[in-house]
Amino acid sequence: MSLQEQLKDRLKEMEPQIISWRRHLHQYPELSFHEEKTPQMIAEILEGLNFDEIRTGVGGRGVVGVLRGSRPGAVVALRADFDALPIQDQKEVTYKSKVPGVMHACGHDAHTSQLLGLASVLANHRDQFAGEIRFIFQHAEEESPGGAIQMTQDGAVDGVDAIFGVHLWSMLPVGNVYISPGPIMASIDDFVIEVKGRGGHGAIPDETIDSIVVGSQIVGALQTIASRNVSPMNSVVVTVGTFHGGDNNNVIADSCRLTGTVRTFLPEVRDRAEERLTEIAKGTAAMMGASAEVRYIRDYPAVINSEKEAELAREAALAAFGEERVLPMKPLMGGEDFSYYLGKVPGAFFFVGAGNLEKLAEYPHHHPRFDIDEDAMLIAGELLGRTALHFLEKHQS
């Protein structure tokens, strides 16, 4: 039996330990850029597995472990993230977060645990594959500028031939995996619009320039970016998330402040959205006698899977789970800094269903009652392992 075919049984043997790691991390979450005990725990586990090379503090707080096979070959990387969110855990479970106001509400605890489980299995079978498997444990996925760009700048993927990552997804049913080539997650941009008018008494509007009225016009006009400035065949989302202005009910506000986000997939659409947002904000304000200053912040690029690597991952998934469980993934407008790795090397990012109503794994990501069906961890671990081994087999020296 090949090592790929053994993975399911070997991971099943590791299941109690994988669940134990996940529940420990869930109880002791750490926020982005403040991870201390989590990377220490990861490094200690890898040391116990006699990894060939372990780097800590990569890009700040990341950990990279290297496992070399029986002979030289290609280099494949697998990535998991391990930061938590500033959300109060409202689940009533034995592994509920013990850190007030902080919880793993996106599954990163499970991502790390399943990759540690896979590392444990492959460390005991390194004589059965050629090449190198690089395990990347990343800090700070949730908060810009993100740990991925820092880790790539610190050499995390230097010499890597391909990289793969997986996200457990509570809004998809457990048991299924989802893989597609091309754009899979959107770029993330933020903006701040400061509107300056002329304040005055609410009963004498003709002697003022009402910044709130100007801001309201800008909110409406920004929606024309999607409806009139971008092809209906392409995707763009422009959302104004906050609108702050004024202090009293009978005073016309001198200024107001709008903030929001823009999501796109294509670079040219991203450029167009930034251009038009600035023009619309400034032009609308000027038309009404006010002024507007715009700050546009480009964040994570879009996650765009390489065609070849996505197909390779799909081949590995089909061999493991069969056609009825391997499905295409519709692009999401959420973002992920896995895009920075894909900007350096080819690869693919895919999804594994982790939702199960019977186990109360029914809430969306970033929800205070978020949880997963822990069965999904073995599926994700097997998928990553089979994909890595399949890649190494196809690229033997």
Helix, strand or coil for residue 344? coil
Single out the catalytic residue among 89, 109, 132, 141. 141
Backbone angles phi, psi at 79, to 5 degrees: -120, 140
**What is the sign of the dihedral through the CA atoms of 87, 297, 195 and 255?**
positive
> According to the annotation, is 366 in a ligand binding site?
yes
> According to the annotation, is 106 in a ligand binding site?
yes
Q: Report the distance separating Cα 371 and Cα 104, nearest Å.
A: 9
Residues 6+ apart with CB under 8 A from 92: none
Single out the catalytic residue among 30, 35, 81, 83. 83
Helix, strand or coil for residue 71? coil
User: What DSSP character marks residue 301?
Assistant: P
Helix, strand or coil for residue 167? strand
Bond from prior residue into 205 cis (ω within 30 degrees of 0):
no
Q: Report the distance separating Cα 104 and Cα 167, nearest Å.
A: 13
Backbone dihedral region for residue 71 (phi beyond 0: left; psi -120 to 50: alpha; all else: beta): beta
75-81/162-173 β-pairing: parallel
Residue 357 and residue 93 in contact, taking contact as beta carbons nearer than 8 Å: no
> According to the annotation, is 244 in a ligand binding site?
no
Q: Does residue 307 have an active-site annotation?
A: no
Q: Does residue 141 have an active-site annotation?
A: yes
> According to the annotation, is 167 in a ligand binding site?
yes
User: What DSSP character marks residue 247?
Assistant: S
> According to the annotation, is 367 in a ligand binding site?
no
Which whole-number Å values give the CA distances from 256 to 197, 252, 253, 281, 299, in the listed order? 9, 11, 7, 13, 24
10 Å CB burial of residue 233 (0-12, 13-18, 19+) is: exposed
Residue ranges of the binding site for Mn(2+): 106, 108, 142, 167, 366
Residue ranges of the binding site: 106, 108, 142, 167, 366
Known catalytic residues are 83, 141
